[in-house]
Structure 1
Amino acid sequence: MNAFQSSRPWYRSPLSLAITSALAWAIAAPVSAQESSEAQAQSDTSSAERAATLDRVVVTANKRVENIRDVAASISVIGERQLENLGASSLADYASLIPGMQVQDNGSPGQTSVSLRGIAALSSGASVATYIDEVPVGSSGIYQGANTLMLDVLPYDISRVEVLRGPQGTLYGAGAIGGLLKYVTRAPDVSGDEFRLGFGMRTVNDGGDAWNTRFGASVPLKEDRLGLRMSFARNGLPGYTDNVVDGREDINDSEQMGARAALFWDGDAFDLNLSVLQQRISADDRGGTALDPETMEPLFGDLVDRTWQHQPFSKELTLTSLSLDWDMGWADFVSATGWSQTDTMTQIDSTIQFGEVANALLGLPEPGSSFVRYEFDLDKVTQEFRLSSKSGGRFEWLVGIFYTKEDALQTQLAWLGQLDGSPLPAPYDEMFSTLTFLGLPSTYKELAVFANGSWRIGERFKLDAGVRQARNEQRFSQNVSEGILVPIGNTPGESEEDVFTWSISPQFKLGEDAMLYARAATGYQPGGPNVAIVGIPPKVDSSMLSSYELGLKAQFAEQRVQLDLAVFRIDWEDIQVASSFNGIGGLVNGGEATSEGAELSTLFRATDALTVGFNVAYTKADIKNDFEPTVIPQDGFDVILNTGLAGDRMPYVPKLSWALTAEYAFAVGGFNGQAGAALRGVGKRLNDTTERQRITAPGDPSTVLDEEITAPLELDSYRALDLYAGIGKGNWELRIYANNITDEGAWSSLTPINSAITGTHVQVAAVPIRPRTFGIEFDYRF
């Protein structure tokens, strides 16, 4: 089955554990990406306030509250106002506003992969770390599908989303090899009441419609000391793809629900924040279109898929966090504690892959139908203590210690029945309906110490540096209790490793509103114990990378123009990739890759009412050498697999992506409003790397008996236009939006689906970008 999950064909599934990529194709994802500006977190639409706050966006990238213009790193901020204007409900809705960010949508919220600056999700571990305020969420290990099940927080009661590009290993540790995605929630107000009530509707072209509602309240329990904030939101996401097998329409509708309660104590010496957040995502099925593997044209029409089994998805996150900020006079002490539980279930139709087991292996008169169900259970505890100097001095310092423990379980069930979905006839139902059932319990423990310092030399020069020493210990077991596809038995494994990361960043003030900086940093993606399979090493080592960046941040023309420019090069070593044969495989350390490029973000306040932005990202991410081969002995021959060849482009990384944005704010007759547009473009992408499979004489790799090379599929470039407008007066506001207004047809991902029995190329599963979507929202604040 598929411990790591992937989108490769059955015979080369990159992240599989035990049967065939058949089990993996649906959990894998691909996508497009884009870019945009570093936008401000603001709640008022007046142009005067936007002008006043343009240069005062605050971030916590260095675990201090700082002006974004003073941070020597590439950071984008998406504010609450922007999320509302766009009608955003998931990462994919605002990824185009982040230069160099790719989000692969697998057909429903919560089934996403995220990469930054070409550091693609080739492993089953995350390449981008996720934080909610001070607490990391999601798994650091390799057995929870972190690469394709990225946390997709419902963007309500979120003050802003911070995205840090480039490795953040020194301050944020494991998994931040490509960057950091940080959700900053709204804090309770201790000085006054705030209530908010809203509702809305959205509809998709040639699809369904759905409603949403939300409520938020902030109440001071003790004036100027203690505040309580509560919120609830429900989003309905209408479906738009149909299923030719059973005639169902709009099968991929889904629902998001989120609730949060937070207590905040504002003391003289210390602040205390206790928060409980719960979010649930549920989808009846996933969006998809069945394509002809030769012509790449839809087999049954636009937005029509072919599946015999339902493909539900659900994800529930409960996060409790407690943070203490103590002003000790000479320094600040922070304690951040987090407890989280994440339960995920995803089911994929595997009829094409396994249905022929019924007739070809069992001798029944016709093929059957099949599904594979994955369940992921993760309990995670984190604790961070840090001590930092006061801000503003010539030398600023920070030291800390971090601990995390994860108890995780992944289970996989492959089921076989008749083509109509009923059980196999007796006695086959009891003997063969469970093709495989396995459990993969694992634990992950990490302890790290870190330090960071900033030294101001004169009025213009500043030097930042940081180090982190981490040690992780992991335990794992491969427990197969039923089935005919994987040998029954229990096989334990363990690993431990020490990892050192560092960063250094000099910066030079060219003037009051201009800064030139350089940054060199390292990051890592944890390894771990491997599956017990012939040809696969007992453990996989951490992936490591080094990043070099040169950037310019400037404002000029009386602060009406803002410009951010960065060029970078990343060297990636010991890349974790999957190697599999006949669907059985695990992770190996493949080789090296480089990613280099440039990102430009500009924001121009043409008038007090009109703001125009343009953003572009160029990324060239290529494999440097043939990935290390995996040798799999067979009866009378060897199979030698390379899952990437020198010169291959990283999957789902466009060389060019861009966005042009504009917003006009107005005030007339006591009404305030705004109208805006975003035109976004994504270049061509590839869905995978090249695989080379060689059949050689036993023990003699020089004698090649047969060779097969599978090239990746290409996704065309596309452009999409989003429009929005809003008007309000006093306590109420009405907003409308239209996303993908021209109804551009394009693919977010492509995944070949082949028979695991015969190897026949049957179809390509394509996930479309969301068709034209209209929405209307109303909010009342009192």
Structure 2
Amino acid sequence: MNAFQSARPWYRSPLSLAIASTLACAAAPVLAQDATGVDTQPPADAAVTLDSVVVTANKRVENIREVGASISVIGERQLENMGASSLSDYAALIPGMQVQNSGSPGLTAVSLRGISALSPGATVATYIDEVPVGSSGIYQGASTLMLDLLPYDISRVEVLRGPQGTLYGAGAIGGLLKYVTRAPDLFHDEFRVGFGLRSVSDGGQDWNGRIGVSVPLQEDRLGLRMSFARNGLPGYTDNAVDGRKDINGGEQVGGRAALSWEGDTVDLDLSVLHQRISADDRAVVALEPGTYAPLAGDLEGRTWQRQPFSKELTLTSLSVTWDLGWADFVSATGWSETTTLDQIDATVQFGEVADLLLGFPEPGSANVRYSFDLDKVTQEFRFSSRTGGRFEWMAGVFYTKEDALQSQFAWLGQRDGSPLPAPYDAMFGTLALIDLPSTYEEVAVFANASWRVGERFKIDAGVRQARNDQWFSQNVSAGILAPVGEDPGKSREDVFTWSLSPQFKLAEDTMLYARVATGYQPGGPNVALPGMPPSVDSSMLTSYELGLKSQFADRRVQLDVSAFRIDWDDIQVAASFNGIGGLVNGGEATSEGLELASRFRATDALVLGVNAAYTKARVKSDFAPSIIPQGDFDVVLNTGLAGDRMPYVPKLSWAATAEYGFMTSGGLAGQVGAVLRWTGERYNDTTERQRVTAPGDPSTVLQEELTAPLLLDSYRALDLYAGIGRERWELRAYVNNATGETGWSSMNPASGAISGAVAHLAAVPIQPRTYGIEFDFRF
């Protein structure tokens, strides 16, 4: 269903009235929820204790309270209650995690603990169960195209903060995002069907549907699970140039089939997953550069070319676990294919080529279309000892091979979107046509061990040695923005990472731990442009962390506190001039902070929670300059200066949660809840300093220009949800950003590549007031 604009106030729509009725159903005593999210009445002696949570952070099934690392878990039940459809919907529940949205699910960058994405390479690794997804190389836009999985048929989302290089390898320099899918039920049939409606205030409406089936094909041996979901994305931004309304509508579609076999000594899990995101346009608002006031309406942008976005992922994974008696042998295999299309309006950036270079009476219009194709194969073999002994160990080998292609096509036409008149169309209509094929191949060996000394002390340690070989070619077949020709390059690097974590139990439910760990972000061959090095090295960091995990007051209160310092060296930084860019190893940065995660079961009916993060992440020294020859002069470009704050990292962010469960006298059970989230002010970038110097003499400065980053104000938002049902059915409702607060997820200046003049600021808003209602039936 296409999104459409509604002229009625949000509180007058039939959907909002239905939600209000559902929210009003809260009354009476509690019904607690277990870790699986199924409504069950707890035993009397456990009614006021908090649930235990199982994670696989160390590639073992462990209680999260026993792991000496900072881990957050968002369960399936919480995702359903909040109506979550993307990372932006639940990121505030994870201390130290920031998600910057560029206008659509899938156009997403994620940072943890101040380790921002300053280059195309990812700083947070992504896994689905046992398999990594996304590119480890630098030519697939991994940092801004993070996997934004539609969270249906997902058991939980695990987020590990801090470098995870020893177990998870390349790209986990800042942490790990891990989606854990639901396994087939080997004992019981399950059939689930659901339907929902979602509407955005002053925007469009759309529907979502889902179905899930789990069937034991052979009781306690073989099971099959299948699911399908469609989630509509209502549009809510307009375009002042052509008058289009609610232009950023789209949809997410996902399907999965999983087969599970449990034998006497061998277990097997086979899964095929497909996800597709498609958006008609981006959610972008045009702001006045000086005042940040909207140039047109509150949710209106200014684009001359459409900006569609689509991303498809197909992942096949096979996991085999063999009980050898003395150890378990695990084989985890993954095959994935990812296709991405991202078109952006470049009228402000390149449209001035028409008037300033070609002599036309007015600027033209332009777009740039990026396409990314990635084929990835991964294989991991590992041996691991049984869990629970005094000495636990794990050793393995990992291999991955990526074949990738990035294509760029930049087009220039007249202001009304028609081609340039002949002969200019043939000569200048194609500003650039570039293919960037690349390969990434890595082999790594790793080992981890845990040693318990007595009942209180434990020490974990891990090492990983990796080697990657990369090949790349810059093939320019047409255009004026880059020299025509083929320029291949290659690189090889060896990287060693390690971790050490002593842990001490102060009491049965209180653990003090320290953790020192390293991580890396792979380098690779660079684009062939003047002033750019032929290759960039890996970024490396070392993290120091001290943490406390505690439960007290008869396990009704849970408190996790951690302090950290991160030293980041050889940071990969994107540097651009005249609209064309490459990578350099910029310099150093530090990130220091405190994180808090707490929950309190005040009564058997009410659970309260607070999480918060204070992060001071700054550039330590001026980033290394790029010297770009321009004939009679040189341009010396610094893309970060000492003291700059890291992009999109607030000093303070927090979220407070409350959930009240109830059971009516008629046997209905449910809950009402709220999340109040706050994000502090952020900067969109680091400072850029551009100096014009005499050729070969950088000390003779002829001209200097500083471009300061943009400041994004702090914002808060309130999310409300409620649900009621019986054993087989449930009705849920939610209102996200209930008070209709305005805030910005990301912001960038729209400026000319030749003149440098800023026409406006392109800002992506946080989701406006959004309300939805969902119905699920199980049998």
Q: Distance in 2 between matches of 1:553 and 1:51?
A: 22
Task: Determine the structure 2 residue equivalent to 1:116.
Answer: 112
User: What is the CA–CA distance in structure 1 between the aligned matches of 2:703 and 2:290, rounded to whole Å?
Assistant: 23
Q: How does 1:358-369 map to 2 (within 5 A)?
A: 358-369=354-365
Matched, 1:603 2:595: no
Q: Distance in 2 between matches of 1:40 and 1:586?
A: 50
SS of 2:81 mapped into structure 1: helix
Do the aligned partners of 1:48 and 1:608 also contact (CA within 8 Å) in 2? no
Counterparts of 2:131 and 2:495 in 1: how far apart (Å)?
21
Please say if 1:158 is aligned against 2:157.
Answer: no
How far residue 634 of structure 1 moved from its aligned partner, in angstroms, is 1.6
1:663 and 1:597 map into 2 onto residues whose CA distance is 28
Shift of 1:55: 4.4
Match of 1:293 in 2: 289
Pair 392,465 (structure 1): closer, same or farther in 2 beyond 3 Å:
same
2:311 to 315, 322, 331: 315
Q: Partners of 2:401 and 2:634 in 1: how far apart?
A: 40
From 22, 38, 43, the counterpart of 2:37: 43
CA contact (8 A) 2:49 2:601 kept: no
Give the AA of the match of 2:652. Answer: L
Instruction: After superposition, give the CA deviation of every residue in 1:387-431 in whole Å (9 maximum; x if it has no partner).
Output: 000111110000000000000000000011121112222222222
The alignment's C-alpha RMSD in Å is 1.2
1:167 aligns with 2:163: yes
Distance of 1:510 and 1:45 partners within structure 2: 34
List per-residue Cα deviations over 1:268-302 (Å, max 9, x = no partner): 10110000000000000000110111222111120
Give the residue type in structure 2 aligned to 1:754.
Answer: S
Aligned match of 2:188: 192
Give the aligned partner of residue 588 of structure 2. 592
User: Which residue does 2:722 correspond to in 1?
Assistant: 725
Residue 473 of structure 2 corresponds to 477
Whether the 8 Å CA contact 2:268–2:320 is kept in 1: the answer is yes
Cα shift at 1:546: 0.2
Q: 1:663 to 1:47 in 2, by over 3 A?
A: farther
Aligned residue in 2 for 1:135: 131
Q: Within 2, Cα distance between the matches of 1:338 and 1:55?
A: 33
Provide structure 1 residue ranges, at least 5 long, that are not aligned to the other structure. Answer: 1-38
Are the counterparts in 2 of residues 46 and 672 from structure 1 also a CA contact under 8 Å? no
Query: Which residue is 1:350 aligned to?
Result: 346
Determine the structure 1 residue equivalent to 2:691. 694
Q: How does 1:266-665 map to 2 (within 5 A)?
A: 266-665=262-661
Aligned to 1:82: 78
Taking the aligned partners of 1:139 and 1:586, their CA distance within structure 2 comes to: 18
Match of 2:121 in 1: 125
* Candidates 672, 675, 688, aligned match of 1:675: 672
Contact 1:290 1:300 in 2 (8 A): yes
Residue identity in the other structure for 1:345: L
SS of residue paired to 1:469: strand
CA contact (8 A) 1:502 1:522 kept: yes
Q: 1:485 deviation in Å?
A: 1.7
Partners of 1:282 and 1:551 lie apart in 2 by: 41
> Residue 673 of structure 1 contacts residue 726 of structure 1 at CA under 8 Å; is this kept in 2?
yes
Q: Deviations over 1:598-647 (max 9, x none)?
A: 00111000000100001111000000001111111221111111111111
Structure 2 residue 765 is the aligned partner of structure 1 residue 742: no
Distance 1:708 1:120 in 2: 25
SS at match of 2:79: helix
Asked if structure 2 preserves the Cα contact closer than 8 Å seen for 1:47 and 1:665, the reply is no
* Cα shift at 1:361: 2.0
Amino acid at match of 2:360: L
Q: Give the alignment's TM-score, normalised by structure 1.
A: 0.94
Q: Is the 8 A contact 1:73 1:164 kept in 2?
A: yes
CA distance in 1, matches of 2:527, 2:645: 28
Shift of 1:47: 6.4
Matched residues in 1 for 2:540 and 2:102: separation? 27
The code of the aligned residue for 1:405 comes to K
2:387 counterpart SS class: coil
Q: Which amino acid aligns with 2:42?
A: A
Decide whether the 8 Å contact of 1:325 with 1:333 is kept in 2.
yes
Deviation at residue 363 of structure 1 after TM alignment: 2.6
- Residue identity over aligned pairs, in percent, reads 76
The SS at the match of 2:42 is helix
1:249 aligns with 2:245: yes
Matched to 2:679, the amino acid is V
Provide the C-alpha distance between the structure 2 equivalents of 1:53 and 1:136, rounded to a whole number of angstroms. Answer: 35
Which residue type is aligned with residue 688 of structure 1?
D
Whether contact under 8 Å (2:541, 2:569) holds in the other structure is yes
User: Partner letter of residue 239 of structure 2?
Assistant: N
In the alignment, the residues of structure 2 paired with residue 318 and residue 585 of structure 1 have an alpha-carbon distance, to the nearest angstrom, of 31
Q: Which residue of 2 aligns with 1:17?
A: none
8 Å contact from structure 2 (residues 48, 602) kept in 1? no
**Distance across 2 between alignment mates of 1:54 and 1:162:** 18
Larger mean CA deviation between 311-320 and 360-369 belongs to 360-369
Query: What's the CA shift string for 1:534-558, capped at 9, x where partnerless?
Result: 2111100000000000000010000
Q: Which amino acid aligns with 2:745?
A: S
Separation (CA, whole Å) in 2 of partners of 1:249 and 1:526 = 42
Q: Distance in 1 between matches of 2:257 and 2:276?
A: 15
Q: CA deviation at 1:53?
A: 7.9
Please report how far the alpha carbon of residue 46 of structure 1 lies from its aligned counterpart in structure 2 after TM superposition.
Answer: 4.5
TM-superposed deviation, 1:342: 0.1
| Aligned pairs, number | 744
Q: Aligned partners of 1:113, 1:278: CA distance in 2, in Å?
A: 21
- What is the distance in 2 between the residues matched to 1:611 and 1:477? 56
Shift of 1:88: 0.2
What letter is aligned with 1:580? Answer: S
Give the Cα separation in 1 of the matches to 2:601 and 2:104. 36
Q: What's the counterpart of residue 772 of structure 1?
A: 769
Matching residue within 701, 708, 715 for 2:712: 715
In 2, distance between residues paired with 1:132 and 1:352?
39
Would you say the 8 A contact 1:45–1:665 is kept in 2? no
Partner of 1:685: 682
Q: TM-score, normalised by structure 2?
A: 0.94
Counterpart contact for 1:41–1:77, Cα < 8 Å: no
Question: Which amino acid in the other structure matches residue 619 of structure 2?
Answer: I
1:440 deviation in Å? Answer: 0.0
Q: Determine if contact 2:122/2:171 at 8 Å carries over to the other structure.
A: yes
2: CA distance between counterparts of 1:245 and 1:296? 19
Indicate how the Cα distance of structure 1 residues 40 and 580 shifts in structure 2: closer, same or farther if over 3 A, else same.
farther
What is the CA-CA distance between 1:432 and the residue it aligns to?
A: 1.8
Unpaired segments ≥5 residues, structure 2: 1-32
Deviation string, structure 1 residues 487-530 (Cα, Å, up to 9, x no partner): 10000000000000000000001111110000000000000000
Once the 2 structures are TM-superposed, how far is the Cα of residue 698 of structure 1 from its aligned partner? 1.5
Contact map agreement 1:478 1:491 (CA 8 A) in 2 = yes
State the SS of the aligned residue for 2:271: strand
1:48 match: secondary structure: coil
- 1:64 is aligned to 60
CA contact (8 A) 1:107 1:288 kept: yes
CA distance in 1, matches of 2:502, 2:211: 45
